[in-house]
Chain A
């Protein structure tokens, strides 16, 4: 069993019934980031299209962290998620 906590950014909280944090339990370990996110989409299906493209890639201006490590430098969606990890979904510092 693996427990992970998702930190939900303000813009996506309406898709998570207003919650800032979501705890998810998964019946296996170790877990990949992609598998953890799949569990989040089960709880909040509308969030998937905001975070991932239809090709399943993290959107270019969205960052996903496992603890303090960005998935961009840690193996992408194959990144390992340890039991008890906190996963943060954050908008990148881009805009205009």
Chain B
């Protein structure tokens, strides 16, 4: 029998939502973020590939993808930090029968913009985008992407043919980007009716044609605040786009490897991004056996290693695409989890790190929630230090 520890979060706490292959865990700390209480496991035995907090309109709701190897994947939610969960009586994310497709996994959950408080998106495997416009009760597949003429030529990567990243545009209501492994980046400018591949400049090392229109294995896209740039961690390659993805520029100068999965944006500084390089696609562990986060504070012109407090000898960890995140505090907290079940946290923008938990199941996603988010309180200090 699984014993679950559950502690309510208080106002001002930071809560880390950690999805693992065997359930979800919530880590709670006061704003100092020096000591963390571990709560869970929630949804024990089920793989939780995606977690998301929806704090719009006063909600305090957490969504989770809960996938049983036996009984399939569904979206579940909790409004009380995991004490009780709402399970759909019937599967809530399903392909239309005529598509011939069957859901394998739910890889991403993304609330819509603040001005569409009942809209949510989820990205799934096989690669498709679903949308709910009633707060998550009913989900329908986005036909423009499901029926895309490129679909027959998308091919699965090691994790399957998954739509794993959804980025909504904070300014243009009808614009959105998704990333598919392996299909690449697609953008809609008309609310999902049509989608165009947006991969110019992104390398496909594993194809004979190195710069195809589509077919890249994009691992993660992030959008720093103010919405003017995008950064991209590719299956080989680090990129930046200043034109909404119309073109991408290589910014992998100063990293020991441009292979990796995880990428996280600073919540306040549009020039600061974090990545965690891995040696290669053949050996997905940190280069030189040293666990290092790399940070750019110059929009990708230069990168610096952040290793204080991280193990620097014989490290064989892998950090997956959704397993690194930032919180919204100042100085910013940066967090990442590993496939070996370790969770590292920094409360000073990556300047120093602590091993917070070392025996979780394999970590597949990490998200940070400020418990003041839903109450509309200020999350950052006025000085907004760049740390």
Binding site for B on A (CB under 8 A): 11-12, 15, 45-46, 48-51, 53-57, 59, 61-62, 91-92, 94-96
CA distance A57 to B95 in the complex (A): 13
Q: Which residues from A are CB-within-8-Å of B97?
A: 54-56
Q: Which residues from B are CB-within-8-Å of A61?
A: 69-70
20 A-B interface contacts by CB (under 8 A) = A11-B68, A11-B71, A45-B90, A48-B90, A49-B72, A49-B90, A49-B94, A50-B68, A51-B71, A53-B72, A53-B102, A55-B100, A59-B72, A61-B69, A61-B70, A62-B70, A94-B69, A94-B70, A95-B69, A96-B21
A91 in contact with B90 (CB, 8 Å): no
Q: Does B159 contact A (CB under 8 A)?
A: no
CA distance A15 to B91 in the complex (A): 12
Q: Which residues from A are CB-within-8-Å of B58?
A: none
CA distance A9 to B89 in the complex (A): 17
Given contacts A53-B102, A53-B103, A96-B21, A91 and B94 within 8 Å (CB-CB): no
Q: Which residues from B are CB-within-8-Å of A95?
A: 69
Nearest-Cβ distance from residue B71 to partner chain A, whole angstroms: 4
- Closest B residue to A92 by CB, please name it: B70
Contact with A along B322-363 (1 / 0, CB 8 A): 000000000000000000000000000000000000000000
Binding site for A on B (CB under 8 A): 21, 68-72, 89-91, 94-97, 100-103
Nearest-Cβ distance from residue B168 to partner chain A, whole angstroms: 27
CA distance A95 to B313 in the complex (A): 32
Given contacts A49-B91, A49-B94, A59 and B100 within 8 Å (CB-CB): no
Q: Which residues from A are CB-within-8-Å of B72?
A: 49-50, 53, 59
- Closest B residue to A15 by CB, please name it: B89
Contact residue among A55, A56, A62, A96 (Cβ-Cβ distance under 8 Å from B71) = A62
Given contacts A45-B90, A54-B91, A96-B21, A12 and B71 within 8 Å (CB-CB): yes
Nearest-Cβ distance from residue A91 to partner chain B, whole angstroms: 4
Nearest-Cβ distance from residue B39 to partner chain A, whole angstroms: 23
- Closest B residue to A54 by CB, please name it: B94
Q: Which of B68, B97, B100, B103 has the most CB of A within 10 A?
A: B68
- Closest B residue to A53 by CB, please name it: B102
B90 in contact with A59 (CB, 8 Å): no
CA distance A15 to B90 in the complex (A): 10
Q: Which residues from B are CB-within-8-Å of A45?
A: 89-90
Given contacts A53-B102, A54-B97, A55-B100, A46 and B70 within 8 Å (CB-CB): no
CA distance A55 to B95 in the complex (A): 9
A96 in contact with B103 (CB, 8 Å): no
Q: Which residues from A are CB-within-8-Å of B68?
A: 11, 50
Q: Which of B91, B94, B97 has the most CB of A within 10 A?
A: B91
**Top-10 shortest CB links A-B:** A49-B91, A53-B102, A50-B71, A91-B70, A46-B89, A54-B94, A61-B70, A55-B102, A49-B90, A61-B69
CA distance A12 to B68 in the complex (A): 12
CA distance A96 to B95 in the complex (A): 27
CA distance A59 to B69 in the complex (A): 9
- Closest A residue to B47 by CB, please name it: A96
Q: Which residues from A are CB-within-8-Å of B71?
A: 11-12, 50-51, 59, 62, 91
Q: Which residues from B are CB-within-8-Å of A48?
A: 90
Nearest-Cβ distance from residue B162 to partner chain A, whole angstroms: 17
CA distance A50 to B72 in the complex (A): 6
Given contacts A49-B91, A49-B94, A96-B21, A54 and B102 within 8 Å (CB-CB): yes
Q: Which residues from B are CB-within-8-Å of A62?
A: 70-71
- Closest A residue to B71 by CB, please name it: A50
CA distance A45 to B70 in the complex (A): 18
Q: Which residues from A are CB-within-8-Å of B94?
A: 49, 54
CA distance A59 to B96 in the complex (A): 17
Q: Which residues from A are CB-within-8-Å of B91?
A: 49-50, 54
- Closest A residue to B95 by CB, please name it: A54
CA distance A46 to B71 in the complex (A): 11
Q: Which of A11, A48, A49, A57 has the most CB of B within 10 A?
A: A49
CA distance A54 to B71 in the complex (A): 12
Nearest-Cβ distance from residue A58 to partner chain B, whole angstroms: 11
Q: Which residues from A are CB-within-8-Å of B100?
A: 55
